[in-house]
Amino acid sequence: MRTIGLLLRQRARRDAVSLAVWLAGLAALAVAGYPGVRSSYGDEQERVALLGTVMANPVVLLFRGLPSGAGEAQMVAFLLLPWLLLLVALMCSFLAVRHTRGDEEDGRLELVSATAAGRTAPLVATALHGVGASIVAGAVVAVIFVASGAPPVGAALIAAGCTLAGTVFLGVGLVSAELMPTSRAANALAVWLVVGTFALAGTGNALGTPSADLTRMTSSALAWFSPFGWAENTRPFDTDDAWPLAASVLATLVLLGGAALLHARRDLGASFVPPRTGRAAARPGFATHLALTVRQSRAAGIGWIVAGLLVGILSTSLAGVASRIGEGNPAVTSLLQALSGTSADLSRGLIVVFFVMLGIFAACAATQTVLRARQDETQGTAELVLGGGLTRTRWLADHVVVAAACAVLTIAAGIAGAAAGALSGGTDADLIRAAAVAGAGQIVPACLFAAWAAVLVVALPRTAIALAWALVAIAAVIALFGPLFGLSTAVVNASPFASGPVPTGEGVDPRGIVPLLVVAAVGVAAALGGMHRRELVA
């Protein structure tokens, strides 16, 4: 018992900062809910209209919750609940892998297990730590909802949903850490399961049966296979059913028990999925640092490109539907116009919204690639290549080049997806042109983030990773949610994603392309110049 206490304290201390950041993000999202709904859908009429649109165009449900009435609180739950759940789920699955397979891979677990802690105590401590973090996350959400004026029973259900989403995906993380040989593979499996079940619940809701007044949806059976579906089917502030959460409790117990069983049946350092061996000799083309950087970025890059393709397909296939409904629905039209920042027609506006999303993906791809330089530096592999005939400038430049390529490919995939979506829904050359313009307009903002990341890597290496991601996250939230939450146009346009060129009826509105281009170019030049003068920092 004493060792578990010690291990728990060590975990709490190690995670203090990262859990604080996760919880702050969760709190920020929860805080934004009520004011956002009040300002954007102030009266019942607008909310009914929005829900009507959603029912007619259920693809939106992929990104939202289960419609359960047009009241203010019900609307907040509809818009926010899946995202709150998603944050807690990701927080807990990363937590699980970090303290199990992560420690094991780096040899720290061996150090701990050789003490009185033994083989089991670290796993138990990790599980308790994760459950504790889930409970805190739920409490944070409950307090904020009640303080915003939500009915306490519904707020408690939302909080319970968040906590149990945390414990379920804690279990998922622990099991995948048992199965996979590396923390990277374990995290990948867990995140795929999080995203997969998130989409499963969304699809299940989209395929559901709407009520006669179009304000409620009954999930199809598909949603019941997802922890997100269970939490959403509690219908907080509506029927306030707690019983779907029994499935979450059961899944948590099964997963935690499964992790314990698997753990008892393997050696320290072993895994059920065997590690793969590599090639005995390198391929002929694997001869330059650029080739190495491409190789290191390949897996993540493909992920972003696929994501870009999907966003592209959705943008046009959805735009066609939206323009048909939007014509008779001024509330939706004005909302979309606010989001896209143009007074253009609805489908073009919707494409812009989706392509802001695409720009964010491309920026993530670029940022991740540039930051790999910093990881290369801290883990010591940079020393290996810089000790072998490579200049420091070239080392960073290769990362920036691959980052830009990743961003461009992500956007190209998005445009291709948009074209495919448009063609499948009946050819519409104008829609494809709009997609191409909106997509190309996001290339410069995405590359700007690569430039910022490079500047940070050079100037503030120790905090570069956190700062670069924070910049992307802030810009993304402002561009995506700013108009929804009533931020002023000046603030929204400060986000690079919201100042790329957009299509208009006749041509192209360049918006802030020139300053973006200048800042990006200056940033890259400054970073490369700075790298020429900077030494390696562990």
Partner 1 sequence: MTAVIRTDALTKHYGRVHALDGLDLVVEAGQVHGFLGPNGAGKSTTIRILLGLARPTSGTATVFGSDPWTDAARLHRRLASVPGDVSLWPNISGGEAIDLVYRMRGGGTGPAYDTARRRLCDAFQLDTRTKGRAYSKGNRQKVALIAAFAVPAELYVLDEPTSGLDPLMEVVFRQEVARVRDAGATVLLSSHILSEVELLCDRVSIVRAGRIVDTGSLAEMRHLTRTEVSFAASARATSAAAATVPGAEGVREDEGRISLTLASDAVAVALPRLAELGVEGLRVAPPSLEELFLRHYGASDAPGEGTRR
Residues in contact with partner 1 by the rule CB under 8 A? 105, 182, 184, 275-282, 284, 286-289, 291-292, 295-296, 379-381, 383-392, 394, 535-536
Contact between 441 and 348 under an 8 Å Cβ cutoff? The reply is no
Residue with tokens 């208009």: 504
Contact between 334 and 440 under an 8 Å Cβ cutoff? The reply is no
Nearer to partner 1, 216 or 392 (CB): 392
Distances (CA, A) of 281 to 199, 278, 476: 41, 9, 42
How many angstroms separate the CA atoms of 64 and 410, rounded? 24
Nearer to partner 1, 388 or 426 (CB): 388
DSSP β-bridge partners for residue 218 = 209
Nearer to partner 1, 374 or 392 (CB): 392
Three-state DSSP state, 442: coil
Least separation in angstroms between CB 375 and partner 1: 10
Nearer to partner 1, 379 or 488 (CB): 379
Q: In sequence order, what DSSP letters do the residues of 13-59 get, joined into one string?
A: HHHHHHHHHHHHHHHHHHHHHHHHHHHHS-SHHHHHHHHHHHHHSGG
Q: How many CA atoms lie within 13 A of 9 on its CB side?
A: 5
Least separation in angstroms between CB 126 and partner 1: 21
Q: How many CA atoms lie within 13 A of 510 on its CB side?
A: 5
Nearer to partner 1, 291 or 401 (CB): 291
End-to-end Cα separation, the chain, in angstroms:
37
Nearer to partner 1, 7 or 189 (CB): 189
Least separation in angstroms between CB 97 and partner 1: 15
Least separation in angstroms between CB 394 and partner 1: 8
How many angstroms separate the CA atoms of 204 and 428, rounded? 30
How many angstroms separate the CA atoms of 496 and 498, rounded? 5
How many angstroms separate the CA atoms of 305 and 431, rounded? 21
How many angstroms separate the CA atoms of 69 and 75, rounded? 7
Nearer to partner 1, 292 or 444 (CB): 292
Nearer to partner 1, 242 or 287 (CB): 287
Least separation in angstroms between CB 125 and partner 1: 25
Three-state DSSP state, 351: helix
Least separation in angstroms between CB 525 and partner 1: 19
DSSP β-bridge partners for residue 334 = none
Least separation in angstroms between CB 379 and partner 1: 5
Least separation in angstroms between CB 100 and partner 1: 16
